[in-house]
Amino acid sequence: MAAEVAEQPAALARLWQARTAVAEIAARIARFDPGCVVIAARGTSDHAALYLKYLAEITLGLPVGLASLSTFTVYDARPRLERTLWVAISQSGGSPDLVESTRIAGECGALTVAVTNTESSPLAEAAALHLDVLAGPETAVAATKTYTSELFALWLLVDAWRGGSAGDASRRDAARIPDLAQAALAAAGVDEVAALFADADTLVSTGRGYAYPTARETALKLMETTYVAAQAFSAADLLHGPFAMLGAERPVIAVVPAGRAGASMRPLLEKLADQSATTALVTPSGLDASAWLTDRPHGALARIAIPSVAAELAPILEILPLQRLAHTMALARGIDPDAPRGLNKVTETY
C-alpha cells in the first residue's frame, strides 16, 4: 500500500502524457450527445463515480445518476437508455454485476464506456468504449493509485468532451497535477492527526461538493485499514439527523474546499467546535479554516494543508495525505494495512 501510494505522481504523469487517447474517447461521446449520464461502480471506484457526477453536472450541465446494479441483476429492469451515456468504473473490470449491467445497458441503447486499470477485462469487452487509467498493477487490497488515476482520467475525459473549455487556469493546473501530487503527499500534519485519532473507534468524515467524494473515500480507506467505524456525510446531510450522534467522543475529519463550497461548511465547523469535537481539517494552503474556530472554545484541532488548485482538480490532491493517514493509523494499531481481514483484492458481487 505504501509503495502504491508513493507511485501516484508517476502514474498521474503517465496519464497526462496519454491524454490524446482519452480525447479520442471523448470525441466519440460528444458525437453521441447524451441527454443524461448513468455511472456504475462499487467501493473506491464508486467515489470516482461520485466525482464524475459532480464534474458532469457542474461543467457539462447534464443530469447524472449513480446506477443501482440490483435493478438489472436482481429485478430484471430493462430501462430506456437511448440518450444515455453509461460509464462503468472498476479497477479490475471483473465484478460480475458490473459486467452484466453494462452489457444490458448497451442492449437498452446506452453508449457504454468502461473505465478500468487493465488492458483487457470482461467489463472492457462488455462496453463499447474502453478507457485504461494506466496506473500499473495494483496489488494492495486498499485501492490508492487507481483512485487518483480514475479521477484524473475522468477529468481529462470531461475536459476533452467539453472542448477544453475548462479555462486556462484549470488546464495549467492539470499539467502540474503530478508535481502538485508530490507536494500533497508530503503535506505536514498527518502524524499529528493520527495522534489525535489514536483512540478513536468511530469517526465521521465530511465535505461538500467536490470534496464530498474525498470524505467518502477517506472513510472507506479508514474502514479497510484501521477497522474504525468511519462514516461519511456531506456537510449538509450531516446536519439532517446524524449530527445528534456527534459529541466530544467522536472525532471529525472535515475536507474544506476553497470557495463557496468550503465557506458553506463554516456553520457546521462552528457547531462542532461548540461541542468540543476533535476536528482535523484538510484545506487548500490558502484557506486556513482553523482561523474560523480559534477565537471560540473548541476541541482538539489539527490541519493538513494541500496545494491550492482549481476546484475540480482538488479531489486528486485532497485524498493523498488521507491515504497516508489510513496507513499510519493502521500501523499504530498493529494492523497490517496490506492484509485487511475479510477482504480480497477483487470483490465479486452479483
Q: If you compute the radius of gyration of the chain from its CA atoms, what whole number of angstroms results?
A: 20
Rounded Cα gap, residues 335 and 227, in angstroms = 9
Least separation in angstroms between CB 328 and a copy of itself = 17
Choice from 227, 266, 299, 332 touching a copy of itself (CB under 8 A): 227
Residue 45 has which C-alpha cell? 471506484
Give the angle subtended at the CA of 157 by the CAs of 321 and 8, to the nearest 5°.
25
Least separation in angstroms between CB 17 and a copy of itself = 30
Report strand pairing: 252-255 vs 229-234.
Answer: unpaired
Map the footprint of a copy of itself across residues 149-188, applying CB under 8 A.
none
Choice from 62, 128, 195, 331 touching a copy of itself (CB under 8 A): 62
Nearer to a copy of itself, 19 or 324 (CB): 324
Choice from 223, 300, 331, 332 touching a copy of itself (CB under 8 A): 223
Residue 315 has which C-alpha cell? 479531489
Give the angle subtended at the CA of 264 by the CAs of 68 and 224, to the nearest 5°.
45
Choice from 74, 169, 175, 188 touching a copy of itself (CB under 8 A): 74
Report strand pairing: 229-234 vs 84-90.
Answer: unpaired
Tell me how far the alpha carbon of residue 321 is from its chain's centroid.
Answer: 13
Nearer to a copy of itself, 19 or 208 (CB): 208
- Contact window for a copy of itself (CB under 8 A) among 126-134, 150-158, 320-328, 341-349: 341-349
Choice from 30, 236, 300, 332 touching a copy of itself (CB under 8 A): 236
Choice from 7, 11, 53, 114 touching a copy of itself (CB under 8 A): 53
Least separation in angstroms between CB 20 and a copy of itself = 28
Least separation in angstroms between CB 178 and a copy of itself = 26
Rounded Cα gap, residues 2 and 151, in angstroms = 20
Inter-residue contact 207 to 234 (CB < 8 Å): yes
Report strand pairing: 84-90 vs 129-132.
Answer: unpaired
Least separation in angstroms between CB 260 and a copy of itself = 5
Residue of 223, 229, 195 whose CA lies nearest to 340: 223
Inter-residue contact 55 to 103 (CB < 8 Å): no
Map the footprint of a copy of itself across residues 302-321, applying CB under 8 A.
none
Nearer to a copy of itself, 22 or 311 (CB): 311
Nearer to a copy of itself, 15 or 158 (CB): 158
Choice from 170, 205, 231, 290 touching a copy of itself (CB under 8 A): 231
Least separation in angstroms between CB 261 and a copy of itself = 5
Choice from 209, 307, 315, 321 touching a copy of itself (CB under 8 A): 209
250 in contact with a copy of itself (CB under 8 A): yes
CA-CA-CA-CA dihedral for 212, 214, 219, 220, to nearest 10:
120
Map the footprint of a copy of itself across residues 258-277, applying CB under 8 A.
259-261, 264, 271, 275
In sequence order, what are the residues at sequence separation of 6 or more whose Cβ sits closer than 8 angstroms to the Cβ of residue 199? none
